[in-house]
Structure 1
């Protein structure tokens, strides 16, 4: 018996993330929407100068931390970083040391939570 698409979306949270890196500062913005439709908006400023992809990784780490505290089980995520998405989905291989470290950290966060 197939599950209705609206049935499978019950309990689904939605998260939009976007990392920011510019000359003067870096940070990330997150918008988390509950299954009931209320939203939580986060703006994080990093205490270090992050490159664009590093800002996206930091956004992902913040997301996993928030999920853990809110005990979110189902999540639909959108990100504009093809590199981060490709690495976490194992479509890409981490070639740079920094990217490999971020990937390892994210994998450890995911395995500790679920």
Structure 2
């Protein structure tokens, strides 16, 4: 996000707050990301269970983020939001005329007294995607007072899902056992599917039994007859192209 390119300089005292709020067909939601000086991301989100406008939702998100920062003992805070109205009204650049928004504006001014330094900055909406995602999540879940909401678990997967789908217990046999049985006796394992048979036949073309049929080797290049242990007797027809 463009925001984090702007705040790359390390400051052991400065925290960053990103907020967003919106209404969609699922309800009202607000989201906040509090970022520590060590670049640790702390997300907060809430569903608004009362009627409000988008501007009120933005103010609610801003207030929630500031209160979370106060609880975390933050003293230097930079606040970023994609609501031009809320940012400019909070900075005093735009006049606040809506009676409902005046209450929020006054409340934020009181909260800012808890900080040694606090600044407000506007960012484009495309630079606020993380907080916007929290808004969408919070608007989707309906909860009651006192009801716990399960933590959203985020995992990192390094393998495709089908690679982890085998549940059979190991049989103690080496991985070449089934291939060797097929090459030696043309036998399939019990319970094998038709697709499994095709795979086994294809794999078996890469191997051969050598000598006493106990030694199992894999083709890596064409082998001469001497290594196969074969003796050819009789006339070969047709002749090779070189006359032999």
Does the alignment reach a TM-score above 0.5?
yes
Query: Relative to total residues, which structure has the larger strand share, 1 or 2?
Result: 1
Give unmatched runs, 5+ long, in structure 2: 1-7, 116-244
Q: Distance in 2 between matches of 1:52 and 1:65?
A: 20
* TM-score, reference length from structure 1: 0.85
Alignment coverage as a number of residue pairs? 108
* Secondary structure of the corresponding residue to residue 91 of structure 1: coil
SS of the residue corresponding to residue 103 of structure 2 reads helix
Matched, 1:58 2:64: no
Structure with higher RCO (Cα < 8 A, 6+ apart): 1
- How far apart, in 2, do the equivalents of 1:106 and 1:76 lie? 14
2:9 and 2:98 mapped to 1: Cα distance? 41
The whole-number CA distance in structure 1 between the counterparts of 2:104 and 2:9 is: 34
Question: 1: CA distance between counterparts of 2:83 and 2:90?
Answer: 11
In the TM superposition, what is the alpha-carbon distance from 1:37 to its structure 2 partner?
A: 1.7
Alpha-carbon displacement from aligned partner over 1:46-65 (angstroms, at most 9, x marks no partner): 12122111011001110111
More helix by share: 1
Decide which of 59, 63, 84 is 1:82's aligned counterpart. Answer: 84
CA RMSD of aligned residues (A): 1.7
Q: Is the 8 A contact 2:34 2:69 kept in 1?
A: no
Q: How does 1:17-96 map to 2 (within 5 A)?
A: 17-96=19-98
Taking the aligned partners of 1:77 and 1:108, their CA distance within structure 2 comes to: 16
The structure with the larger Rg is 2
- Residue of structure 1 in register with 2:14 after alignment: 12
Q: 2-side partners of 1:105 and 1:33: how far apart?
A: 23
